[in-house]
Amino acid sequence: MRSAHRSTAAVLTILLATAACTTVPAGSQNAMQTAAMGEAMVAPILTSADAVDELTFAQPQIARVTHVNLDLDLDFANRNVGGTAVLDIAARPGADEIILDSDGLRIASVTDNAGNALPFTVGERVDGMGEPITIAIGDARQIAIRYDAAMDAGALQWLSPEQTAGGEHPFLLSQGQPTLNRTWIPTQDSPSIRQTWEARVSAPEPLNVVMSGLSGGEPVDAPGNRRIFTLAMDKPVAPYLIAIAAGDIEFRALGPRTGVWAEPVVIDRAAYELADTERMVAAAEDLYGPYRWGRYDMIVLPPSFPYGGMENPVMTFLTPTFIAGDRSLTGLVAHELAHSWSGNLVTNANWTDSWLNEGVTSYFENRIVEQIYGKERADQEAALSFAAIENTLAEVGMEAPGTALHQPVNADPVGSAIVYDKGAYFLRTVESIVGRERFDAWLRQWFDNHAFQPATSAMLLEDMRRNLVRDEAEAQRLQLAEWIYEPGLPDNVARPDPAAFAEVDAAARGYTADRRLDRDAWASWSSAERQRFLAEIPRDLDAVQLPALDSALDLSASGNNEELFLWLDLALANRYEPAVPFAERFLAQVGRRKFVAPLFETLMEQGEWGRTIARRIYAETRPGYHSVTTGTVDALLQPRS
């Protein structure tokens, strides 16, 4: 995923051993199969001080969900998802109850596979977690839950036709990471508890339904002008990776195993921007082994999607804000593809180790970019990443606990630069010391030996010491534990090549000295170079300099959302009134939290001038944002006590 998420750290943890993560066959396991494998699936559980996910109510060492079978109806008129979830359970001998995660689910009944009612209780709500559902299963190892999700389920966003690109049909999308899927699926919602799943989904014509699983074939007509779609994931995945989207979307093939879904009015631009996807998959395989998920498809969602991308298996969810017309922002696609290895194949066991997903993926992303677009672009994007680390450390301090890769208990969140960028630079540093050939061999075996399993920082550290480090002298040079567990930035960091932005930095210095602009140079620069220039020029500009900058570089009319965002943020920070209509339009058209939250924060920092504008714009735009975005912006706009 291209964004940071923040979660509480664990005090005690449970690490599921390899046997608990064995790939299960496609289709629902029957109760006899589940009972037979129950002891093998649950018994070999290790207690570890850095591994339990404290954001789940589940007790997987006693009973855990291994397969989810959904039969759901999508009701757009009432903004409701409901139906039945059949859960296959592996449990210790004698275990007679299972605990599931819920956040607002309305449970009508729970039965065993013979139709007998099973008692259940819904516990008290815990802020940030929802409420536990405790089910007395007796000796049942398959249960059926009839339920509805709440209209305001946090994972789901229901869009009216007016909120889509086509403007004719409604749209539904989900975003489950890290703990939102418990708002629409009754299961154990933890990245350490891997599950296979299948789904039968009914939706009104002419909408198409896609999920993060492979299609079972063409939809089947059903009464009431509806169609039924069947989908399945036969690989065990973390529950947050179950995703759904439904709307007026069509498919365009990009290669033998790649393609894109999008609204008809978007599909041509999306397909052009994503033309390199098949090459990216091949490049990723050359680096770190086979792609194990069958197909790699994507869906370009309406602009309300709160993240740049979400790595849902076989169906990456993408924001349309990456469409620049020149493929300059396709590092996003490389990032989400890389998650097919780091994140989806090997998953952090809990959210305190989210750098294992995002940092490893950010490193992998840069390697894909290097193979497809060349070393110069890869070096420039890596330099932008390093600047983000430096900016964060300058803001929060080198000793801030939240700047460690493994997030300590109750550390204040510091944003994405640590888990994404510092994580990537940790691996870049290791590579620079041991050499690329040896590093690549180690990382490939990490993916191979931990495929379809949860992992922790402690596991990766031990694996590096066992399978990568040659001797004690090299171990001291690598400073592995310091990188993972200590705040700040170790002194052995492999800094970016200063030549990556030499020309741009010189131009920024020239502008700082005498406000000199080279329009021809700007026109020839890559997007990374333009972003670097906008980040390096002075933050304080006046009412003469701002319009001159805008006019010379045509910033307000930019079709590149990364560049437009940087310009609007700079302009609003200087209370530049002519930029307000452009910011208002941008905030009305884009729901990506990376852009939306900082612009509102900048406005709120500008005294009454900015706060008045922020509240006026947010009153209009809030209904079009996903709960992930509104949860952040609501807090920003609250009056300070």
Catalytic annotation, residues: 336, 420
* DSSP type of residue 419: I
How many residues make up the chain in this entry? 641
The answer to whether 137 touches 89, Cβ cutoff 8 Å, is: yes
- For residues 355 and 49, what is the distance between their CA atoms, to the nearest angstrom? 18
Give the span between the Cα atoms of 281 and 277, in whole angstroms: 6
CA dihedral for 144, 149, 155, 160, sign (positive or negative): positive
Nearest one of 290, 252, 242 to 274, comparing CA atoms? 252
Cα 369 to Cα 374: distance, rounded to the nearest angstrom: 7
Q: Are the beta carbons of 307 and 3 closer than 8 angstroms?
A: yes
- CB of 377 closer than 8 Å to CB of 385: no
Cis preceding-peptide flag for 206 (omega within 30 of 0): yes
Select from 488, 525, 490 the least CA-distant residue to 505: 525
CA 400, CA 421: separation in Å to the nearest integer? Answer: 16
Residue 429 half-sphere exposure, CB side, CA atoms within 13 Å? 24
CB 218 within 8 A of CB 263: no
Q: Is 30 exposed, middle or buried (0-12, 13-18, 19+ CB in 10 A)?
A: middle
| C-alpha of 504 from chain center | 31
Q: Are 192 and 350 in contact (CB under 8 A)?
A: yes
